[in-house]
Amino acid sequence: MPPIKLIATDIDGTLLSPQRIITERSLRAIRAAREKGITVAIATGRFPENAYLMLEDYGLRLPIVGVNGARIVDEGLREIANHSMDPEAVRETIGALMNLGSDFFIFGDHAICTSTVERKHHSELSRGDRLREMGFRYYHGREEVADFVQRHTVYKFFVCDNVPLPIVRQGLAAVPGVDLTQSWFNNIEIMPAGIDKGRGVRDMAESLGLSMDQVMALGDQDNDIPMLKAAGWGVAMGNASEETKSATRFVTASCAEEGFAKALETYAL
What's the pLDDT score for residue 233? 97
Quote the CA–CA distance of 28 and 30 in Å, as a whole number.
5
Gap between the Cα atoms of 9 and 65, Å rounded: 9
Domains and CATH numbers, the chain: 6-82+196-268 (3.40.50.1000), 87-192 (3.30.1240.10)
Interhelix angle 48-56/122-133, rounded to 10 degrees, is 80
Whole-number pLDDT of residue 1? 80
Which of 2, 1, 19, 22 lies closest to 10 in space, CA to CA? 22
Distance CA 203, CA 219 (A): 18
Tell me if 70 sits within 8 A of 154, measured CB to CB. no
Low-confidence ranges of the chain (pLDDT < 50): none
Q: What end-to-end distance do the CA atoms of the chain give, in Å?
A: 15
* pLDDT tens digits, 251-267: 999 999 999 999 999 99
Provide φ and ψ at 107, rounded to 5°.
-95, 115
Structure confidence by residue, pLDDT tens digits, 105-158: 999 999 999 999 999 999 999 999 999 999 999 999 999 999 999 999 999 999
**Overall pTM > 0.85:** yes
Alpha carbons 166 and 151: distance in angstroms, whole number: 31
Q: How far is CA 180 from CA 112, 141, 142, in A?
A: 19, 23, 22
Q: Dihedral through CA 154, CA 160, CA 164, CA 170, nearest 10? A: 10
- pLDDT of 200: 98
pLDDT of residue 12: 95
What is the per-residue DSSP string for 16-30?
S-TTSS--HHHHHHH
- Give CA torsion, residues 185, 191, 194, 195, to 10 deg: -90
Q: Is 93 left (phi over 0), alpha (psi -120 to 50) or beta?
A: alpha
**43 conformational bin, left if phi > 0, alpha if psi -120 to 50, beta if neither:** beta
Phi, psi of 120 (to 5 degrees): -125, 140
- Angstrom distance (rounded) from CA 216 to CA 182: 21
Judge whether 39 and 6 are in contact, CB under 8 Å: yes
Nearest CA among 26, 41, 71, 39 for reference residue 261: 26
